[in-house]
Each structure stands twice: as C-alpha cells, then as structure tokens.
Chain A
Amino acid sequence: MTDERRRTGTAGDKLLRAAAAAAAALVLFLMAALFVGLGWHSALSLSKFGVGFLWSSEWNPVAGRYGALSSIYGTLVTTAVAMLVAIPASVLLAFFLAEIAPPAIAKPVGYAVELFAAVPSIIFGMWGLFVLAPIMSEHVQPFLGEAASFLPFFSGPPMGIGMLTAGLILSLMILPYMTSVIRDMFEMTPRSLKEAAYGMGATRWEVTRKVVLRHGAKAVAGAFFLGLGRAMGETMAVTFVVGNSHRISASLFEPANTIASTLANEFAEASDPLYLSALAELGLVLLVMTFGINLLARRMLDRFGAGSGGAR
C-alpha cells in the first residue's frame, strides 16, 4: 500500500477506510466494555464485601453473604488436574504426530485431534455425566481409593462426579489446542538444528527434548498457558460433572464448584440484586484470571508467530 494509492481518496475509498477502522476500533471497545460492564454490575458486591470477597469461603444466598474462595479453589484444582494430564499428553502427541508417525498415520490422527477441538463443551458434559462418571465411580475411584488411600486426594465416597472427573474431561478438551501449537513448534525448529543433532547420533526423543522443546521452550510454555486459560473458563462440561457444592475439600472425589459452574448453575435462581452482583463479581474474577493467563500466553507465542489460539 503506497501513499499515492491512499491519496486517490474517492468517497468510496474514504467510506471503506472509515468503516474498516470503526470495525477495528469496535474490537478494542468490546474488550474494554467487558471489564467495565462486569465491574458495573459487581459494584454492589464490591462495596459490600471489598477485597475480602476473594478469600471468604462463605457462599450463603440465604444470609446474603458471598465469598469467591470455594469457586476459585475448585477452578484452580480442576485446572491443575487437567494440566497434569494434558501437559505430558500434548507433548507426547505432538512428538508422535511430528516425528514418529509416517504421514499416512499422522494425517488422519491429526484430523481426529482437530475434530476433537470442534466438539462442543456440552457434548463433553453429556459424555462425562452419563458415560465417564459411572465408570469413575465403579472402577477408577474405588481402585485409586485402595491403591493410594494414604493420599488425602483419593479419599471419600466414589460418586463418579467431582473435581477429578471434571479435571479429566477438561484435559481432553484442551489437549487439541495445546497439541496443535506444540506441533507447529516441531515444524518451526530450523532443520539445520535438528539435523545437526541427528548427525551426532541423537535419538528422536533426544532431538525432541533437547533441540525442539528447548529451542521452542517459550512457545511450548505459551501453548500450556493457552490451554490453562481455556480450562479455567470452560463451563458446560465442568458444570455437568463437578457436583456443584461450595464445600472446600482436599479429596478430588468430592463435589465442588468452579467459577464458571457457579455462574451457570446459580444464575437462574439468583433473584435479589446482591446475589446477581456477587455472581457478576465472580465473572469479573474469572475475566481477570483468563485475561492475565492469555496475556502471558501471547507474550510467549508472539515471538514465534505461533498459535492462532483456536482460529485454525
């Protein structure tokens, strides 16, 4: 685009440019409006509970006292479970697709992974509640309870629903996003680096670990953060299986709540202004958390131009 072209300046061109600029400005306006809008509706709760909202574990609609701690705790624990599974799984899956599998296998498996990303959250919820939860309660949880009964995470009644099941489903949902970014890293590592390592007799896994993952360490971390941000905000799949309880317990078998599941579950029954305001503030907390995580993810990914974050 040269300057002369801009100077042609017919009315049509000016109109197009103005409309395009307005649409671009709309994006920024929306991002700001999200914070302002949620902040506005949180005002009542903010003035009543102050910052203490963040670490009060009381959630009592009857008494009109609200605290975010139980929801924040549930969000962090389910997300942690999801990351524990998804981090090694996504690295291994990307390793498989980029280095191990012949194209005839890597292509269909790659498609399957991408299709996975298209499955709506609520379908994972249906599957989690009606298929996975019974299996968890009859087989997985009793087994874990016996094999690792000395750990506080695996105690309590095997109900099938709860933080463990929610975390596992979350890990499935974020896996495709993380895998596709890490897989890009394999392709963006300079061939000469990889070939130099292979030339010295390194094995495929050594090249992956010491060349690809090290060269792209930042982008890989960015992929993890991208998955983390998604897991935190995931709603329906979690709401179906997390159990919806505001108790804070160490055991992963126990029902809990995430910020998103509290919102989905209780919004319909929230009638008084303070209840609605407390829910809006929970939403604001989630927005700030995911915004911060995504900010970190972008910082790490932008240098590599990797990871379009879902718009593949």
Chain B
Amino acid sequence: MRPRSRAARKAADAAASALAFLAAAAGTAVLFWIMAEVFARGASVLGPAFFTRLPAPPGVGGGGLANAVLGTVIITLLATLMAVPPGVLAGVYLAEFAGNGRFASAVRFGVNMLMGVPSIIMGLFVWGTVVIATGGFSAWAGAVSLALIMLPVVARTAEDMLRLVPDSLRESVLAMGAPYWRAMLVIFLAARNGLVTGVLLAVARVGGETAPLLFTALNSPYWPTDLTKPTANLPVTIYNYAMSPYRDWQAMAWGASLVITAGVLALSLVSRFALKTGTERKAKR
C-alpha cells in the first residue's frame, strides 16, 4: 500500500465525516418534510364529516371516508385474527420444540423468504386462489392477503421473544409437575410485552398496504355491510382519489394519507414503548 501523508488521511476522514453528517441531516430532513406535507395537506379535510359520512361525488364537496376508515379497521382486524394464532404457534415451534434440526432450519428459511416476498405478489396469489375460488373480490380476501404478509413477521418476533425467556423459568414450572402446555402459558405471560410488540409491528406493517388490496378487497363507495363483497378501505381510496383529476378527491386522498400515517406511526411508537418497558423490566430483575 502506498503510504499517504498524515494531512491527506486527515482530510479524507474529515470529508467522510462531513458527508456522513450530510447524509444524516438530509435523511432526517426528508422524513420531516414528508411528515410536514402529509400533515399540512391532510389536516384541512379532516373534520367530523371525514369520519362519519360516505364519500361525495367529485365537485359536490363535503362527504367523508367513514366507510373506508371502517373497512380498513375491519380488514386489518380480520387479518390480525388470521395471522396471529398460526404465527405465534410457528414461533412456539421454532423456539420451544424444534431445536436446530433440518426441518427447523427449513422453516426459519421459509419465514425469512416469506418476509422478502413483495406485498403485491401476496395480493396476486390471493386473487389467484381465494378471489377466484369464492367468485369475487371481498373483505375476506383482503384480510387473507394482509394476513400472509403478517404471518412471517409474527412468527419471527414470537420466536425471538420466546427465546428471551430464561430456561430456568421453564424448568421451574416443569419441576412443579406441570405439563408442557401449562408451562407455555407461564412463558407466554413472561414474554407478553415482546409478543404484543411483534403483533403491533405486524399490524403497522400492513396498515398502509395498498398493492395486495387492489387484487383482493378492491374498493367500494358504500358502507362495509357484507364481508363477501368488495369493501372500502383507505389505501386503495388514496390510490384511486390521487390518480383522479378532481381537486377535492385529491384533497381527500391527503386526508386519508394523514389518517393512515398517523395510525401507522402511532402503532410503531407504541410497540417500541412496549418493547422498551419489557426489556427494562427484564434488566432490572
């Protein structure tokens, strides 16, 4: 290696540090910029009407997206109910039963790979199976597509969180003569903060997902009264309204963006808080 002068090395270090500072400043600034735009443009259309009324035709003014808010809540809840039990069970299998055998590493590999599958592919897959089999777009199909995205996230965090529970706890419950499933209840209780965090993170991750819903739940201008029919939801409404030429619809899209962003960020912050208090308590013990 060619020896370089002290001055040149110092200059390189200073330049790299300056660029790193710039990258951090620019990154943070862009995040705040995006947030500021969403809040500034979205806040003006958010009022009681937004959360209580059905959409108005373009040009009429007024109206709200109450049906889409409700639909998003319903679809996300259904997805959570579908994804959490198998996700947590898969995590239980990996953390408690599997060890490091071949099947276990295959499942871990599968979890990682599922996590990397683009969300639009999940939507296409659910269209090709659920939508075609049931004969139409529906809230159920939308929920299945979101559940498929949540499943690996829940499984992964469940495994990690269950592994954090010390073996001594398992052993003391079992030493009292309890069967393993009874011990699991105690372990779940010990890992509850982490498990809740995993679920919240998974919900946050799908809360704003749009692409899979285009293929499954579609959208609707009506109240979500029948889960086997196309169902209104905020993300697809944002997409449709933003792409429309109408100013008032575009404004509504910004309002919906604000609702989604605030919801997703709140979930992320709450989950971080839950994890934090969980680990702090553990550290104090």
Interface, chain A (partner B; CB < 8 A): 1, 5, 8, 10, 12-13, 15-17, 19-28, 30-31, 33-34, 37-38, 40-41, 88-89, 92-93, 95-97, 100-101, 109, 112-116, 118-127, 129-131, 172, 175, 203-206, 208, 226, 229-230, 232-236, 239-240, 260, 263-264, 267-268, 279-280, 283, 286-287, 290-291, 293-295, 297-298, 308-312
Most B CB within 10 A of own CB, among A5, A235, A290, A295: A235
Cβ–Cβ contact B129 & A309, under 8 A: no
Considering the complex, give the chain B residue whose CB is closest to the CB of A116. Answer: B31
B164 within 8 A of partner (CB): no
- B110 nearest CB across to chain A (Å): 4
**A16 — which chain B residues lie within 8 A by C-beta?**
92, 180-181, 184
Cβ–Cβ contact B97 & A38, under 8 A: no
**B125 — which chain A residues lie within 8 A by C-beta?**
33-34, 37-38
Q: A120 and B207 in contact (CB under 8 A), knowing A16-B184, A298-B109, A309-B112?
A: yes
Cβ–Cβ contact A31 & B180, under 8 A: no
Query: With the chains together, A226 CA to B174 CA distance in Å?
Result: 41
Q: A41 and B23 in contact (CB under 8 A), knowing A20-B93, A122-B235, A287-B121?
A: no
Query: With the chains together, A30 CA to B147 CA distance in Å?
Result: 12
- For the complex of A and B, the 6 pairs showing the least CB-CB separation, nearest first, are A120-B208, A233-B118, A23-B89, A203-B13, A294-B116, A20-B93
Considering the complex, give the chain B residue whose CB is closest to the CB of A12. Answer: B181
**B88 — which chain A residues lie within 8 A by C-beta?**
23
Cβ–Cβ contact A295 & B113, under 8 A: yes
- With A23-B87, A298-B113 given, name 10 new contacts (CB 8 A): A10-B181, A12-B179, A16-B180, A17-B180, A20-B96, A20-B97, A23-B86, A206-B12, A233-B118, A308-B160
By size class, the interface of chain B is: 35 or more
Considering the complex, give the chain A residue whose CB is closest to the CB of B38. Answer: A123
Interface, chain B (partner A; CB < 8 A): 9-10, 12-13, 16-17, 19-24, 27-28, 30-34, 37-38, 41, 85-90, 92-94, 96-99, 103-104, 106-107, 109-122, 124-125, 127-129, 148, 151-153, 155-157, 160, 174, 179-182, 184, 198, 201, 204-205, 207-211, 214-215, 235, 238-239, 242, 250, 253-254, 257, 260-261, 264-265, 267-268
From DSSP, what is the main secondary structure of chain B's interface residues?
A: helix
Cβ–Cβ contact B120 & A24, under 8 A: no
List 15 A-B residue pairs with CB atoms under 8 Å apart, sorted by A's residue number. A13-B179, A23-B87, A89-B23, A93-B24, A109-B27, A113-B27, A121-B208, A121-B211, A123-B260, A130-B37, A233-B120, A235-B210, A267-B215, A290-B116, A311-B157
Query: With the chains together, A280 CA to B94 CA distance in Å?
Result: 33
Cβ–Cβ contact A126 & B238, under 8 A: yes
Cβ–Cβ contact A131 & B37, under 8 A: yes
Q: A310 and B153 in contact (CB under 8 A), knowing A126-B257, A127-B37, A291-B113?
A: yes
Query: With the chains together, A129 CA to B114 CA distance in Å?
Result: 30
- Contact partner of A93 (CB less than 8 A), chosen from B20, B115, B152, is B20
Q: A290 and B235 in contact (CB under 8 A), knowing A95-B16, A235-B211?
A: no
Q: A204 and B17 in contact (CB under 8 A), knowing A27-B151, A129-B242, A233-B117?
A: yes
